[in-house]
Amino acid sequence: MNLTAIDLFAGCGGLTQGLKQAGVDVASAVEINRSAARAYQMNHPETVLIEQDICNVSVNEILNVTPDKKINLVVGCPPCQGFSSVRTRNKGNIIDDDRNKLILEFLRIVEGIRPEFIMMENVPGIVNYINFDKTVNRLIEIGYKLDYKIVNVEDYGVPQRRKRLVLLGSLSKQVTIPESSPSLRTTVKDYIYDLPSVDISEDPMHRNTTKHSEKVKNIIALIPKDGGSRKDLPPEHWLECHKKSGVGFSDIYGRLSWNKVSSTITGGCLNPSKGRFLHPTEDRVITAREAALLQTFPIDYVFPSDISKTELAQMIGNSFPPKFSEFQANYLKNVLVEEKK
């Protein structure tokens, strides 16, 4: 028996891509955002996409779009902006955001389908949220054997420092979050070093990079190559906003390092004022293609060409790194094989 999955809150398809790389059949997916749905369909045309608000999608509607398939895996990354590390920086308070309740929609779908396996990913802060406790307790009540853990995706082959909460569950066997291995470690160099110059690239995603003002160009040129930061600049070149005491986000205007993992690829990944997103040696911010590669999307993964740079960056930054979901899916496949022996 193979794994056949439904991807809830599918975004532009990062989780689905990883599942497919592991040989999982992704039968259907749900995504409300139009641009993300377009990207999903461009890369996964064989998957039936339900482009609606999941709150308005019934379990029967999901099952009826692929009536010939037995769903034995439900996966999802419920939007979680209200308790992300950036949003809760102010005394750790959870921001009141309706999207925080979408984890209960994940629970509703799982309750209705009762798949053999479930996989959910979210930001670490969700463990302090009452609806996470409700979800975990209810899943246990209906028979799921669970394990959840905060991990760093850099330990699973992703060239990026990114902490995430992962939850796995099975109806028949105790599952555990698979252990990482030092041998899996990769770096920025492994993923973007061999790309052609932006000026000669025929890839529109690689030509998609921020155009800097002369002032910003001069600042970037002064930042030491291969890992330098704005703190290395002489004070006379500091931006006014950086001269104030108590200013955080020290990675702003920082360069990536070839032989390390990147900082977390966020929705600001195409803007040097949003984090450590400068190219290791070239005097520019990383391109959209480089950002996608650092998220471990395949180099031929396509995105809509008629959306804003801001929307594209948000789409890439919000994605689930395919390499990480591939690792988790391979673990569940091995559990399934063991169950059938």
Rg (CA), the chain: 21
What distance, in Å, lies between the first and last C-alpha atoms of the chain?
Answer: 11
Tokens of 15: 């989780």
β partners of residue 152: 163
**Identity of residue 56:** N
- Per DSSP, the three-state class of 277 is coil
Cα→Cα distances 118→73, 114, 115, 320, 332, Å: 5, 9, 7, 16, 9
Tokens of 225: 């190559």
Tokens of 117: 């396996």
User: Which residues are part of the catalytic machinery?
Assistant: 80
Question: CB neighbours (10 Å) of residue 242?
Answer: 17
**Identity of residue 113:** I
CB-based contact 294:261 (threshold 8 Å): no
CB-based contact 331:117 (threshold 8 Å): no
60: Cβ contacts below 8 Å, ≥ 6 apart: none
User: Angle CA(133)–CA(322)–CA(296) in degrees, nearest 5?
Assistant: 130
d(CA 55, CA 58): 8
Tokens of 236: 């006379």
